[in-house]
Structure formats: structure tokens, C-alpha cells
Structure 1
Amino acid sequence: MWEFIGDRRSDIAFLSYQHASLVLQAVLVATVIAVAIAVVITRVPRLQGLANMVSAIGLTIPSFALIGLLLPLLGLGVPTAFVAVTFYAVLPILRNAVVGLQGVDPTLLESAKGMGMNELTSLMRVRLPLAWPVIFAGVRISTQMSMGVAAIAALVLGPGLGTYIFTGLTQIGGANALNYALVGTVGVIAVALVADGLLLLLGRLTISKGIRS
């Protein structure tokens, strides 16, 4: 195993970087999309039921099935992988964003309005900062979930450590089949742990001490 890793350390490092890059970019885009939708939902409450239904249905769609649906539209490679990871990343962030924004004390919003803040200023300076701890919890969940989805996306030649996992599966019985699968799996776990550690640090930097749990 150690010889296997030593011979391929540069390749493993590059695939780990690709895996992390794919997930983090997808989660960043998903966060923007989810927060934007959540803002609309809080302005039009009747849309919440529809959003919850779509979110629940989305989480039940197997990643293999979604990738299969995207394949004829986007083909093999990064676009299909990115769209699939982003789709799943949106769902937990959206739920948390709706809960977080709805949980902001209305009296604070009235106070902001009384201070002359318009809707956009109130959103950026009051609602989002107060809702951010709940939203950020969704971002952490989304990031961890997306690590696994990104590995499956290697099936359509997406970037990342999933390449090693599927190489191992296709070479079952071969000399390095187990090594490929094991290194790919452990690598995904390691990248996920590092990403979560960095997100914890980001949370301490972006969440006010006064509202930090």
C-alpha cells in the first residue's frame, strides 16, 4: 500500500485538489442560489410548501439517476459533474436558509426600517448576518454530502478521487484494485475532514461572537 501511494503521490495530490475544488466551487454557487431562493420564499410565504416538496424530492433522486439524466444534455466531463454536485448542494442549504431568515426577530426588522434602511440594506446588514449561523450549518452539511456525490461523478469522467474508486472497482481481481479503491475512499474522507476544519475556522471568522452558539 505505501509503495502504491509513494509511486502515485503526485497524482493522488492532484486528484485530491480537483476533488476539493469541484466541491467547494459547487457549494459556493449552491449557497448563492439557495440564499436567493430563500429570500424570495420569505417574501412570498406560499412558495415555502413548494420549495420543501422540491427539496424533499430532490434528496430522493439517486445521484446515478441524476447523472444519467444530465449525460445526454451536458456529455462527459466536468460540466455534468459540476451541475450534479451543485444540485445536491443546494438542497440542505436552502432548507437552512429559509429557517434562518424566518427566524429573524420581526422587531429587529422594524427597528432597521425605522432607522431608514431599505429592503436590500436590511437584508444585507440585519437579516443575513442574523440568519448566517443557521445557513452556515447547512453549508457544512452540504459540503460533506457533496464529497460523496463528487466521487460518484467520476463515473462520467468528472474530476477528483472518484477516479481511483471506479478504477479499483473495474479492476476487481487485479493486483492494485484494492489499493485504488482504498486510496480513493480514504482520500475522499481526508479531504472532507480538512474541508470541514477549514469551514469551522471560516465560521469563527464570519459569525459574530454575540450570536455564535
Structure 2
Amino acid sequence: MTGFNWEDLMAFLTRRADDILELTRDHLVVVLISIALASAIGIGLGILVRNRRIARTTVLTAAAVAITIPSLALLALLSPILGLGWLPTVVALVFYSLLPVVRNTVVGLREVPVSVLESARGMGLGPARVLFTVQLPIAWPVIMTGIRVAAQLTVGIAAIAAYVAGPGLGEYIFKGLSSLGSKNALNYALTGTVAVIILALVLDGILVLIARLTTSRGLRA
């Protein structure tokens, strides 16, 4: 790989600005789709198993084991079934995002004080109303923390999805690594890597803002 040259990098970024923006947009879109799906599935699972010890242990253990599977191996297994591109990428990202979302949903819901739940029931609220008007609002900051963790995992793993022609900035990282020694190899790899880091930081900042805006004032730190 050739040495780093700041002027060459600036010229590279100028020439390929439109391409970089398009890859960044695709990266962000696939991450947002995956996080939305993982949040819906994970929060739903957390609600279902929160009070069932065996089911809760089984789901959390399965999610913990799943996240240990190497991402390249999972993508390689999915590609013959789902093909290349967006579909295997989204499936893999949802797969890896479930653990923090499910775990934090369960933890957040189970940490709601018993006295609060008893007071809600004493006011005549049914199980569904207790869940949606008391438990979920109190657990929401913890749940959002799990979603933030899932988002950071997803942004990084999405780059690896370029292995199966997935969308996003991984294309530049893989292109740089596959052209070691060429003039722009370092520029490709560096651009893709730095853009992924910046995207992760920006997305985390947005989720922090969303968490603050959607959390009851009394629960804000």
C-alpha cells in the first residue's frame, strides 16, 4: 500500500464526493431499516418473555449465542439462500441487533418498582394499560440504551456486508483492501473507515436526542 498523502486524499474526496455521499446514504438507510425491524421484534420479544423465566432465559441465551457467530460466516450462509445485496444484509443486521434490544427491554420492564405496578393496578388499570402507560414509559430510557448499542453494532457490521454486495461504505473498505499497493488503495480504505465512524457518531447523537425527547421529564437524568 502506498504511503499517505494529504493532497492526494483531498483530490480523491473531491473527485468522488457524489459516490461517497451515495454510499453513505445507502449505509444509513440499511442501518435504519434494520434497527427499526430489530427494535420492533426485540421489544415485542422482551414484552412476551419478561415474566416467563424459562422463555426469558431461552431467548436471551439464544440471542447471546447468535451474536458470537462471525459476521462473514453468517453472510456467507445467507447469500446462497437470499442472494446478494440488501436482503441478506438486512437479515444479518437484524440478527445481530436483537440481543441488546431484547435484553434491555427485559431489564427495563423488570426494574419497574413493584409498588408502582401495585398502585397502577389499584387505580383499576388492566394489564395492557399498566404495560403501555406505566411500565414501558419507565423502562423506555433503558430500552433506548439497548437500541443505541444495537445501532453502533449495526453501523460496523453493515460495512462487512459489502462481502455479499451489500449497500454502503463497506464497498470502499473492501476495494481498498483488495487493491493493496495501488495508488488509491489507502484512500479508499481510509475514506470508508472514517465515514463509518462519523456515521456511527452522528447516528448515536440522533438517538440520544430522540431518547431525551421521548422520555418523560421526571425520568430524565
With the shorter chain as reference, the TM-score category is: over 0.9
TM-score, normalised on structure 2?
Answer: 0.93
1:42-53 alignment, distance < 5 Å = 42-53=50-61
User: Offset at 1:147?
Assistant: 0.8
Mapped to 2, the partners of 1:111 and 1:48 lie a distance apart of 26
The share of aligned pairs that are identical, in percent, is 46
- 1:125 matched to 2:125: no
Mapped to 1, the partners of 2:147 and 2:199 lie a distance apart of 16
Q: For structure 1, which segment, 49-58 or 28-37, has the greater mean C-alpha deviation from structure 2 after superposition?
A: 49-58
Alignment counterpart, residue 203 of structure 2, candidates 180, 195, 205: 195
1:25-44 alignment, distance < 5 Å = 25-44=33-52
Structure 2 residue aligned with 1:149: 157
1:1-213 alignment, distance < 5 Å = 1-213=9-221
Structure 2: where are the runs of 5+ without partners? 1-8
Q: After TM superposition, what 4+ stretches of structure 1 lie above 6 angstroms from structure 2? A: none
* 2:172 and 2:191 in contact (8 A); partners too: yes
Mapped to 1, the partners of 2:162 and 2:204 lie a distance apart of 22
What letter corresponds to residue 157 of structure 2 in structure 1? V
Q: How many residues align?
A: 213
Q: 2:217 is paired with a residue of what secondary structure?
A: coil
Q: Deviations over 1:155-182 (max 9, x none)?
A: 1111100010011111111111111010
TM-score, normalised on structure 1?
Answer: 0.96
Q: 1:60 is paired with a residue of what secondary structure?
A: coil
Task: Give RMSD over aligned pairs.
Answer: 1.1
Structure 1: where are the runs of 5+ without partners? none
Mapped to 1, the partners of 2:60 and 2:36 lie a distance apart of 21
Q: 1:20 is paired with a residue of what secondary structure?
A: helix
Mapped to 2, the partners of 1:189 and 1:45 lie a distance apart of 38
Q: For structure 1, which segment, 32-41 or 45-54, has the greater mean C-alpha deviation from structure 2 after superposition?
A: 45-54
Mapped to 2, the partners of 1:65 and 1:120 lie a distance apart of 41
What letter corresponds to residue 215 of structure 2 in structure 1? I
* 2:24 and 2:195 in contact (8 A); partners too: yes
What letter corresponds to residue 10 of structure 1 in structure 2? D
* 2:60 and 2:99 in contact (8 A); partners too: no
Mapped to 1, the partners of 2:29 and 2:126 lie a distance apart of 37
